[in-house]
Amino acid sequence: MKALCALVTGLNRILFVFAAAIIFAVVPMLLYEVVARYAFDAPTVWAMEASTLVFGPHFMLAGPYLLHMHGHVSVDILSERVKGAPRKVLQIFSYAVVAIFAAILAKVSWPLAINAYELGETSFSAWNPPIWWMKFVVPFAFAMLFAQALVEAISTLTGPSDEEARP
């Protein structure tokens, strides 16, 4: 079980690093657009749309590893005040809610991705790039979020309590 948890977290870390690297593609695209538009009065038809298409996976693929790093915004008014077993129960409940939410969104978005692929969906803009591939990022990212939420719940369940973890 530990090996499977490590595999899920490791894969999500790789996706996180990839997602972080995507920003290095977005910035030059937007810089090119700004210079072309304002310095040469020659705006592009592709730069803004391309940056949007690249920026979507940036957020989606980073989410699962951020869950592992506790990087998401959380309302922990109650969980910070309780210790021991009740705190573990609250944390596991939180991960269960995330897992259910992610599973539902993965299930709902999968047929939309399949449909986009079958139709060869494009953006319908002047540039009109294919966007069906991007629709597959959504169910994949939510499936990875689901898996990471389960890993975090298992780690919380099997890990030491707050008192045991303190030196």
State the CB neighbour count (10 A cutoff) for residue 52: 14
Q: Where are the domains of the chain?
A: 2-165
Q: Over 70: is that where the pLDDT of 163 sits?
A: no
Mean of the per-residue pLDDT values of the chain: 87
The per-residue pLDDT for 77 is 73
Exposure string of 16-44, with b = 16+ CB inside 10 Å and e = fewer, is beebeebeeebeebeeebeeeeeeeeeee
Residue 61, Ramachandran bin (φ over 0: left; ψ between -120 and 50: alpha; else beta): alpha
pLDDT band (50, 70, 90) for residue 146: very high
Q: Whole-angstrom Cα distance, residue 90 to residue 156?
A: 10
User: pLDDT digit string (tens) for 58-111?
Assistant: 888 888 998 888 877 777 777 777 788 888 888 899 999 999 999 999 999 999
DSSP state of 122: B
30-69: per-residue pLDDT in tens?
899 999 999 999 988 888 888 888 888 888 888 899 888 8
Sign for the pseudo-dihedral over CA of 103, 108, 114, 116: negative
pLDDT at 165 exceeding the cut of 90: no
142 or 29, higher pLDDT: 142
Does the pLDDT value for residue 21 go beyond 50? yes
